[in-house]
Amino acid sequence: MADLRIKNLYKSYGEVKVLEGLNLEIASGEFWVLLGPSGCGKSTLLRIIAGLEDETAGEIFLDNQSITTLPPAKRGIAMVFQTYALYPHLSVRGNMSLVLKQAGHTKEEIERRVAESSRALELNDLLDRKPSELSGGQRQRVAIARAIVRNPKLFLFDEPLSNLDASLRGAVRIEIAQLHQRLSSTMVYVTHDQVEAMTLADKIVVMHDGDIQQVGSPRELYETPANLFVAGFIGSPPMNFLEIEKIDKSLAFLYSGETISVGKIAPKTHGKAKMGIRPNAWQLVSSDSKSADIVGEVLLEEYLGDATYVHIKLEDGSQVIVRENPNKNNKIGKKIGINILPDSIHLFDSVTGNRLNG
């Protein structure tokens, strides 16, 4: 149990800047997820926390003590890797006990701790197997057991589920969530998968190009994204964006001349903007209905069982996705009207990308 504080962290490889002045404060026992597309610097940040890479500038505190200059083994952390990184020549037991041997624990202590964590992850029957004799899910469980056996102050996960197939991914994800509930240790988890991030995290840090875009709970990120990047990144299928020419008297003017009421949520007047609407925040109505805010033409239907995603081409040529009741049937090529639920509109400035409504 420990809190992690990152102060003004910079990292560059020669001319290339990877992280630019990051600040984070993670309270003890929280589960934080670093989320972002590949190349956003999230893995680099994790490796710097672990001590596997040197920072260019900045400081890292764990439990109010600077660990910036400590070697990885002395930081009191444990890490789980995407590729499992099990020692191929050691048995499961050997993999788990190596770190304790290195730390100089007694034989009884090592045995007790290995037994404890192998029980926690149901590895008792596998203790004498080599990693090559295990399945992918079992290997990742061994890697997690190897991490908890040392009682770390901080757990680091580097895309631990990416190498598993879809069904196992769900199962191991639940195991990690239960692990966090049971140990209530501080955990930092890196992923590019928003489902993992949304389901596991207390707090999500959305990163892009070495910068933090937004920090918040999954609900905050989904309901009030701070900028265009977060809005487009969180949610599947992604948020739809409509170009707005101007906002005048709480009416947003589309380039096609149609207007949409933005209600009380937005500034009364504004220049160019983008309007974000999630696929489930509008409804299809008939094209000649009075309540239709905009009209378009059905391009494609994706039937998923519990919902249908209808792809619609608007008059200005842009495409949007509407989540629809799967029982309704919309013919391809049919003219259709869309009715926007005014409370679920997100507005962003076109130039800065920042959120306009509260």
Partner 1 sequence: MAISRARRNLIAELGAHAFLLTFTIIALFPVILIIINSFKSKKAIFRDPLALPNSETFDLIGYTTVLTQGNFPLYFWNSLSVTLASLFLILLLGAMAAFALSEYKFPFNRLTGLYLALGIMIPIRLGTIGILKLMVATGLVNTHWALILVYTASGLPLSIFILSEFMRSVSADLKAAGRIDGLSEYAIFFKLVLPLVRPAMATVAVFSMIPIWNDLWFPLILAPAEETKTLTLGAQVFVGQFTNNWNAILAAMALAIIPVMILYIIFSRQLIKGLTAGAVK
Our measurement of the distance from residue 322's CA atom to the centroid of its chain's CA atoms, rounded to an integer in Å, reads 23
Q: What is the DSSP letter of 20?
A: E
Residue with tokens 């239709």: 292
By CB under 8 A, name the one of 5, 21, 29, 81 that touches partner 1.
81
Rounded to the nearest 5°, which phi and psi values hold at 41? 100, 5
Q: Which is nearer to partner 1, 132 or 181 (CB)?
A: 132
> Least distance (Å) from partner 1 to the CB of residue 179?
18
> Least distance (Å) from partner 1 to the CB of residue 24?
21
Residue 82 CA to residue 70 CA, distance in Å, equals: 24
- The total of other beta-carbon atoms located within 10 Å of residue 58's CB is 17
> Least distance (Å) from partner 1 to the CB of residue 194?
23
Stretch that binds partner 1, among 4-12, 73-81, 316-324, 325-333 (CB under 8 A): 73-81
By CB under 8 A, name the one of 37, 39, 69, 87 that touches partner 1.
87
If binding is defined by CB under 8 A, does position 78 make contact with partner 1? yes
Stretch that binds partner 1, among 120-128, 133-141, 285-293, 324-332 (CB under 8 A): 133-141
Q: Which is nearer to partner 1, 86 or 242 (CB)?
A: 86
Our measurement of the distance from residue 101's CA atom to the centroid of its chain's CA atoms, rounded to an integer in Å, reads 36
Residue with tokens 């409804």: 283
In the window 99-118, what residues touch partner 1 (CB under 8 A)? 99, 102-103
Residues 6+ apart with CB under 8 A from 52: 72
Q: Which is nearer to partner 1, 99 or 120 (CB)?
A: 99
Tokens of 216: 């918040």
By CB under 8 A, name the one of 23, 65, 83, 352 that touches partner 1.
83
Residues 6+ apart with CB under 8 A from 59: 6, 7, 8, 9, 66, 68
Q: Which is nearer to partner 1, 134 or 284 (CB)?
A: 134
In the window 253-272, what residues touch partner 1 (CB under 8 A)? none
Q: Which is nearer to partner 1, 138 or 213 (CB)?
A: 138
In the window 304-333, what residues touch partner 1 (CB under 8 A)? none
Parallel, antiparallel or unpaired: strands 186-191 and 203-208: unpaired
Residue 144 CA to residue 174 CA, distance in Å, equals: 13
If binding is defined by CB under 8 A, does position 126 make contact with partner 1? no
Stretch that binds partner 1, among 20-28, 71-79, 180-188, 195-203 (CB under 8 A): 71-79
If binding is defined by CB under 8 A, does position 98 make contact with partner 1? yes
Residue pair 332/312 in contact by the 8 Å Cβ criterion: no
Site string for partner 1, 202-241 (x = CB under 8 A): ----------------------------------------
If binding is defined by CB under 8 A, does position 275 make contact with partner 1? no
By CB under 8 A, name the one of 21, 29, 58, 136 that touches partner 1.
136
Site string for partner 1, 140-179 (x = CB under 8 A): ------------------x----x----------------
Q: What is the DSSP letter of 354?
A: B
Neighbour-count burial for 194-215, b at 16+ CB within 10 Å, e otherwise: bebbbebbebbbbbbebbbbbb
Residue 198 CA to residue 196 CA, distance in Å, equals: 6
If binding is defined by CB under 8 A, does position 191 make contact with partner 1? no
Alpha helices in the chain (DSSP H): 42-50, 92-102, 107-120, 136-148, 166-183, 194-200, 218-223, 228-233
> Least distance (Å) from partner 1 to the CB of residue 181?
24
In the window 7-66, what residues touch partner 1 (CB under 8 A)? 47, 50-52
Tokens of 116: 């404890």
